[in-house]
Amino acid sequence: MPIELVSSTKSFDGLQQQYRHQSAVLDCPMHFSIFVPQKADREEKQRYPVLYWLSGLTCTDANFSQKAGAQRLAAALGIALVIPDTSPRGDDVADDPAYDLGQGAGFYVNATQQPWKQHYRMYDYIVKELPQLVEANFSVSQRRAISGHSMGGHGALVIALRNPERYTSVSAFSPICNPIACPWGEKALGAYLGADTTGWEEYDASVLVGRAETHLPLLISQGDKDEFLEDQLRPEALQLAAEACGYPIRLEHHAGYDHSYYFIASFIEEHLRFHADFLLKNNPVA
């Protein structure tokens, strides 16, 4: 699995880099960004644990890299950041003129329908192919946490709930918590998975939480001035489902904050410290 360096920039003593590779799962070339700290006190063979960050609608790997301000604390704590793109890309990849379907809107599912199913397999890409690639090519360990924003918060929750053995902890900013019952989700899941809604439940955090046998540490931050809160995000659905089955989740409402990266930047430190407690436990820069 060869990867090609696109850019490399020093940031907080570490390296913020972008790579390009041919994804077998997505059947197209993909870009991802990665931040690897360079802790001065690291022993030579120590490897950094990784926080995977899944971005929201219309985003690429650039948004979080440039706007969240995560590198400062990731460098200090010794946590690598891996930031994938939000969908397959390219002239040969199916697309839709709307911002909430097709390229930039992969919703972290494995599509079963035409014209999407050839390339739109972001679930498998994030769960399997990307970590394998990252762990084979960088000084990182197999200790993983996962987080994301909006559509990417949905992706992080779904992937962690279905694969608890692969992650130490999961968090999300303003996630789409109940996509089977909101306009963004109904549109995307209908297109990618078809009209039969049974299969949709595999991609709905509010359903999956009730099926979970293992409980991961789970943190959600939500702004109460978020313009998508009521119609699209529905954190109360997840909270009710979690309470019903006894899955402990930490859902924090923040007065006055909206859906933007200014909200993420304001609380990324809290999320990084939350994950650090589990990523680094008994494994300081493991």
Catalytic residue numbers, as ranges: 150, 226, 259
Query: Interaction with a copy of itself in 14-33: which residues (CB under 8 A)?
Result: 16
Binding residue for a copy of itself, selected from 1, 4, 6, 9, defined by CB under 8 A: 9
Binding residue for a copy of itself, selected from 58, 137, 141, 266, defined by CB under 8 A: 266
Nearest distance from C-beta of residue 7 to a copy of itself, angstroms: 9
Q: Is 253 in the site for a copy of itself (CB under 8 A)?
A: no
Nearest distance from C-beta of residue 66 to a copy of itself, angstroms: 5
Q: Is 12 in the site for a copy of itself (CB under 8 A)?
A: yes
Q: Is 10 in the site for a copy of itself (CB under 8 A)?
A: yes
Give 252-265 as a 3 state SS string: EEECCCCCCHHHHH
Binding residue for a copy of itself, selected from 20, 211, 225, 250, defined by CB under 8 A: 225
Query: Interaction with a copy of itself in 66-95: which residues (CB under 8 A)?
Result: 66-67, 69, 71-72
Candidate ranges 40-48, 85-93, 262-270, 278-286; the one touching a copy of itself (CB under 8 A): 262-270
Nearest distance from C-beta of residue 269 to a copy of itself, angstroms: 8
Nearest distance from C-beta of residue 240 to a copy of itself, angstroms: 27
- Judged by CB under 8 A, the number of residues near a copy of itself is 23
Residues lying near a copy of itself in the complex (CB under 8 A) are found at 9-13, 16, 66-67, 69, 71-72, 223, 225, 256-258, 260-263, 265-266, 269
